């Protein structure tokens, strides 16, 4: 079978993408802790054969202040090969980088030199709000027919949050995506099952609920997000709400199976009001019938760990425990390994999810943590600040890249002694198990790293329509 590769980084299926060449560059969103200063996008050399391996080789500073760069994505990816809306002429060329607090959207061109991207366009906040009614853009996904971006709220910082679409060639905002949102009001993440015309969205809180940090009154009252929403991707209409219960607060990152024939995925829940545990839930559709109902069940629970009040930040002193704070997870392209970051207890966990209904823990790396401060193996005598947060996986599943900053207001609540930004590389053993690369540790001078994307694609950038 001849390969259909209009762009050499596009692959019809995840199985074919796994065979792609190893990445040589990584792009990292950098938050400036000074809200009156500019954020940036760093470029790292991750080519193990390069003399600059592990170093930051370039940095693009954003023109405005206070953006709070968070998640970002590509203008185009493997979904352009989908038969229902083929765009094989497209090129993975532009990085779409929103400011979650400023609502500006930056477009960076990685051609002709991917080692030194150039800022070519800024969509200002007033245009985003005027054309969509939304603000605080968050997740970016390259869809078959456009760039999809979700937003946390409206122009006043209240609900509803939702999704809007940008033209992938002109970067003109095409407008709000939803035609019928049903009961959905809160927003955080979105992704889809392209083979089943289904979108899934998750819930955090409106901008007014989250921008000043975790609000204990709202949290204890169960007001943060605790549900998923299922949508018809074609008609843009709400189909079903999947309730987790108000005990479970802040339902964040969504990781659907990469195999487009499958109808399941995983979502992380930050905390339980019952015992401060974190959990991973699995959504799935019953049967093979397109009319089958969607269900959700808890798949993994990670308990809080006892701690002395003197070792805890003010927000946690009354609990006598440090929560795991699961704030990111990621799924390898072969749908075998799920990685979960415990930003509170300082750990990255690996689960074999070959049977998604029965995950098995197969590996763990302890690093940092609110109390543990576990050192990196390259600096065994230095207690490490903060813990793994954002996770990115190479297409072949052999390398992980983790960063340690979450969100400015949360950083300062849970790590009040300050955040020293770093990125760590973790190697994956063939049959399960993970270990730190002693040479894969980079600190960022005064900046806080968040999402990482790899040149040519990774486990959270692309969607596929062929199995």
Say which residue the tokens 């024939």 belong to. Answer: 261
- Asked if 152 contacts 172 with a C-beta cutoff of 8 angstroms, the reply is no
Say which residue the tokens 């015992």 belong to. Answer: 275
Residues 6+ apart with CB under 8 A from 289: none
- Asked if 115 contacts 124 with a C-beta cutoff of 8 angstroms, the reply is no
Q: What is the mean pLDDT of residues 319-347?
A: 98
- Asked if 27 contacts 43 with a C-beta cutoff of 8 angstroms, the reply is yes
pLDDT of 316: 95
In a domain, 1, yes or no: no
- Rounded distance, CA 334 to CA 353, Å? 10
- Asked if 77 contacts 142 with a C-beta cutoff of 8 angstroms, the reply is yes
pLDDT of 293: 94
Q: Between vectors from CA 186 to CA 181 and to CA 191, what angle results, nearest 5°?
A: 70
Q: What is the mean pLDDT of residues 74-100?
A: 92
pLDDT over 70, % of the chain: 99
pLDDT of 85: 78
Is the model's pLDDT at 436 over the cut of 50? Answer: yes
Residue 5: pLDDT band with limits 50, 70, 90 = low
Per-residue three-class SS string for 82-138? CCCCCCCCCCCCEEEEEECCCCCEEEEECCCCCCCCEEEEEECHHHHHHHHCEEEEE
Q: Which of these, 235, 243, 262, 106, lies nearest to 179 by C-alpha position?
A: 235
pLDDT of 360: 98
- Residue 218's H or E segment, with its range, is helix 216-220
In a domain, 279, yes or no: yes
The reported pTM is 0.97
| Side-chain-facing half-sphere of 293: CA atoms under 13 Å | 4
pLDDT of 4: 52
In a domain, 256, yes or no: yes
- Asked if 79 contacts 143 with a C-beta cutoff of 8 angstroms, the reply is yes
Q: Which of these, 449, 325, 335, 321, lies nearest to 393 by C-alpha position?
A: 335
In a domain, 412, yes or no: yes
- Asked if 99 contacts 39 with a C-beta cutoff of 8 angstroms, the reply is yes
E strands present in 216-359: 227-232, 237-243, 248-256, 264-272, 278-285, 294-302, 305-306, 321-322, 326-331, 337-342, 347-352
Question: Is 127 buried (19+), middle (13-18) or exposed (0-12) by CB count in 10 A?
Answer: middle
- Quote the number of domains for the chain: 1
Residue 36's region, left for phi above 0, alpha for psi from -120 to 50, else beta, is: alpha
In a domain, 282, yes or no: yes
- Rounded distance, CA 328 to CA 459, Å? 13
E strands present in 404-465: 422-428, 434-443, 448-454
- Rounded distance, CA 227 to CA 188, Å? 11
Residues 6+ apart with CB under 8 A from 98: 69, 70, 71, 72, 104, 105, 106, 137, 138, 140, 149
In a domain, 439, yes or no: yes
User: In terms of residue numbers, what domain contains 123?
Assistant: 14-454
pLDDT of 290: 74
Is the model's pLDDT at 113 over the cut of 80? Answer: yes
Q: What is the mean pLDDT of residues 408-415?
A: 95
pLDDT over 90, % of the chain: 95
pLDDT tens for 257-292 read: 999 999 999 999 999 999 999 999 999 999 867 779
In a domain, 100, yes or no: yes
pLDDT of 7: 92
Is the model's pLDDT at 2 over the cut of 90? Answer: no
pLDDT of 82: 92
- Rounded distance, CA 326 to CA 387, Å? 11
Longest dimension (CA), the chain: 63
In a domain, 3, yes or no: no
- Rounded distance, CA 177 to CA 164, Å? 5
- Rounded distance, CA 445 to CA 197, Å? 44
- Please provide the average confidence, as pLDDT, over all residues in the chain: 96
* Whole-Å CA distances, 304 to 219, 277, 375, 407, 417: 17, 5, 21, 21, 21
Residue 6: pLDDT band with limits 50, 70, 90 = confident
Residue 1: pLDDT band with limits 50, 70, 90 = very low
pLDDT tens for 133-192 read: 999 999 999 999 999 999 999 999 999 999 999 999 999 999 999 999 999 999 999 999
- CATH number where 159 lies: 2.130.10.10
């Amino acid at each position: 079978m001849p390969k259909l590769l209009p762009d050499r980084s596009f692959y019809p299926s995840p199985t074919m993408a796994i065979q792609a060449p190893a990445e040589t560059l990584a792009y990292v969103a950098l938050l400036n802790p000074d809200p009156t200063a500019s954020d940036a996008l760093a470029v790292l050399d991750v080519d193990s054969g390069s003399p600059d391996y592990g170093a930051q080789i370039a940095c693009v500073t954003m023109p405005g202040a206070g953006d709070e760069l968070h998640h970002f994505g590509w203008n185009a990816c493997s979904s352009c090969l989908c038969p229902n809306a083929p765009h094989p002429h497209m090129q993975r060329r532009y990085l779409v980088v929103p400011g979650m607090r400023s609502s500006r959207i930056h477009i960076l061109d990685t051609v002709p030199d991917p080692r030194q991207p150039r800022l070519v366009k800024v969509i200002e906040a007033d245009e985003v709000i005027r054309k969509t009614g939304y603000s605080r853009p968050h997740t970016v996904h390259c869809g078959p027919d456009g760039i999809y971006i979700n937003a946390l709220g409206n122009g006043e910082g209240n609900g509803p949050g939702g999704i809007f679409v940008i033209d992938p060639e002109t970067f003109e905002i095409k407008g709000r995506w939803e035609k019928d949102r049903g009961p959905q009001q809160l927003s955080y993440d979105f992704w889809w099952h392209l083979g089943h015309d289904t979108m899934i969205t998750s819930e955090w809180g409106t901008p007014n609920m989250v921008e000043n940090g975790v609000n204990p009154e709202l949290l204890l009252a169960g007001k943060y997000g605790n549900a998923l929403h299922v949508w018809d991707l074609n008609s843009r209409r709400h189909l079903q709400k999947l309730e987790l219960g108000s005990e479970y607060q802040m339902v964040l990152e969504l990781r659907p199976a990469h195999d487009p024939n499958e109808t399941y995925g995983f979502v992380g829940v930050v905390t339980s009001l019952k015992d401060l545990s974190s959990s991973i839930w699995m959504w799935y559709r019953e049967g093979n019938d397109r009319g089958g109902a969607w269900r959700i069940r808890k798949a993994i629970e990670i308990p809080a760990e006892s701690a002395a009040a003197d070792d805890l930040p003010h927000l946690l002193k009354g609990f006598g425990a440090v929560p795991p704070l699961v704030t990111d997870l990621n799924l390898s392209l072969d749908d075998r390994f799920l990685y979960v970051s415990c930003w509170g207890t300082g750990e990255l966990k690996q689960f074999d999810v070959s049977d998604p209904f029965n995950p098995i823990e197969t590996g763990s790396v302890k690093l940092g943590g609110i109390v543990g401060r576990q050192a990196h193996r390259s600096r065994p005598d230095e207690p490490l600040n903060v813990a793994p947060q954002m996770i990115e996986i190479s297409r072949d599943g052999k390398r992980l890249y983790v960063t340690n900053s979450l969100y400015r207001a949360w950083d300062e609540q849970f790590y009040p002694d300050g955040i020293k930004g770093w990125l760590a590389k973790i190697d994956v053993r063939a049959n399960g198990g993970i270990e730190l690369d002693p040479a894969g540790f980079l600190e960022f001078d005064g900046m806080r790293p968040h999402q990482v994307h790899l040149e040519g694609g990774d486990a959270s950038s692309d969607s596929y329509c062929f199995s």
